[in-house]
Structure 1
């Protein structure tokens, strides 16, 4: 019933409404402000890289980072995501929304999380190999056949923001809307923006909970990929944690110099996956951003 209600109400994409400040709030200390009934379109050109924790998969290069947002009185669109505002007050807001995670993006360069990015060199027809000592008596190498597809899905749910003088807090919950894995996710973060003359800084601390069904679907091993590891690895739920810093130098009305840094520490449930050989993912981007 909940899933049917979410599909009927949402039919939308919403992931990072947390960087938007409504028209009744100050934008003096934020680099990302969207105003009611105005399109906000920008594109950043430069170079960066997002590390890929999957073994034998190359890191993901970043060249072009577009941004498109529109906020109406109730409905909003943000970088391919759409949501609906249930309540907007001076100190808090509540929305229904959908979201998608970055887990699938490590497998496919054409995932929405990797739009306009370079090739990940994630060849599904390659053999993934990495020796490892198993928890049992014998050593069992990590050798996998062709990986099966990890399907894309949307998480539908609710998100809430609480605005404070020293930033804002966000809490969100989502459930798989399309029966891909029937998993759940939750998100908690604190964001603080500060401006000094032409310099603008946005800092975020975040943590994301993923249910066992989510982690098993993306990081579990199918029997066709490796029969041994499909039986040995069974995912549990887990918490990822991360920190983000975005620095802008405002050159004029249209141009900004941009530096973005991202770091995510994976939960033990993901780190224990036979497909993963890194306990974190790091990312950076440096370039110029043009706002239309």
Structure 2
């Protein structure tokens, strides 16, 4: 599913909610959304989203809401709007919109972070940089205050393929607000294992970004550093992630919830002087309530 952090957690809360061919009625203990009815819920607990940017703070997680509605064709899912073009027993094809996620590392109140409480904001400048070149005698220039890296809205198409070995989700989307004019594509496999009151979901994700996306968020503007503007040249990048979601049913409305994700950041992004780590992690432990 293309939605993370409000995004990953909300989707993980009710995995399977993204399928437009939902049953016409849902038991409160099942992971589905009833067609023609608003689905509301929230999670309370604690978690953390690590920030790979140098001198930027991690993002703590305390409350994660979910808001979704699925009609016969149109659907709304945590800020994402979609329309089902075709569906069958083994597939679904949608037109869909979604938020960008790289901007969330730069802005505490980015839409992807808006429901996450924090004790402090991100830093506004990079005071020093991680070196991508070996030089024992020359100190490389620091980067000054960063210009804004804005969020944008993506629009495109997605397809779900349902097999006995899990579900395959593929999507491609373009920047429809022309913030960076780039393209993103995802390929995800996930598999559910229900065991009595337990439900476990395992997932693997390939997340590709065009060079326009990488350059906009991780490239260095000439106003920030002439040296690094020339030294770092952005290229398209492929991030790789694994995810785990565990749920335990307590009552009709309450579940215990554990979500964990690890992302291996592509070398093309790690080479940026703005980036300090070659990975990012997200976890959340808490209780989920569904109205």
TM-score (norm: length of structure 2):
0.88
Q: Kindly tell me: are residues 188 and 142 of structure 1, through their superposed partners in 2, closer, same or farther at Cα, counting changes over 3 Å?
A: farther
After superposition, what is the alpha-carbon deviation per residue over 1:56-100, rounded to whole angstroms, capped at 9, x for unaligned?
111110000111111000100001111011012111010111122
* In structure 2, C-alpha distance between the alignment counterparts of 1:142 and 1:246, rounded to whole Å: 43
Q: Kindly tell me: are residues 239 and 109 of structure 1, through their superposed partners in 2, closer, same or farther at Cα, counting changes over 3 Å?
A: same
Local SS of the residue matching 1:192:
strand
Is the CA contact 1:265–1:280 (under 8 Å) kept in the aligned structure 2? yes
Runs ≥4 in structure 1, deviation > 6 angstroms?
A: 14-18, 25-28
* 1:208 equivalent in alignment to 2:223: no
* In structure 2, C-alpha distance between the alignment counterparts of 1:179 and 1:99, rounded to whole Å: 14
Which residue of the partner structure matches residue 263 of structure 1?
262
Once the two structures are superposed, the pairs formed by residues 71-150 of structure 1 within 5 Å of their partners are 71-119=70-118, 121-124=121-124, 126-130=125-129, 132=131, 134=133, 139-141=138-140, 143-150=142-149
* In structure 2, C-alpha distance between the alignment counterparts of 1:226 and 1:181, rounded to whole Å: 20
* In structure 2, C-alpha distance between the alignment counterparts of 1:153 and 1:52, rounded to whole Å: 19
Per the TM alignment, residue 130 of structure 1 is displaced from its structure 2 partner at its CA by 3.7
* In structure 1, C-alpha distance between the alignment counterparts of 2:177 and 2:85, rounded to whole Å: 23
Per the TM alignment, residue 289 of structure 1 is displaced from its structure 2 partner at its CA by 0.7
* In structure 2, C-alpha distance between the alignment counterparts of 1:161 and 1:265, rounded to whole Å: 24
* In structure 2, C-alpha distance between the alignment counterparts of 1:121 and 1:221, rounded to whole Å: 22
Local SS of the residue matching 2:112:
helix
Mark the runs of 5 or more structure 1 residues left unpaired by the alignment. 1-13
Q: Kindly tell me: are residues 255 and 224 of structure 1, through their superposed partners in 2, closer, same or farther at Cα, counting changes over 3 Å?
A: same
Q: Kindly tell me: are residues 131 and 161 of structure 1, through their superposed partners in 2, closer, same or farther at Cα, counting changes over 3 Å?
A: closer
Across the aligned residues of Structure 1 and Structure 2, the Cα RMSD in angstroms comes to 2.4
Mark the runs of 5 or more structure 2 residues left unpaired by the alignment. 1-6
Is the CA contact 1:53–1:277 (under 8 Å) kept in the aligned structure 2? yes
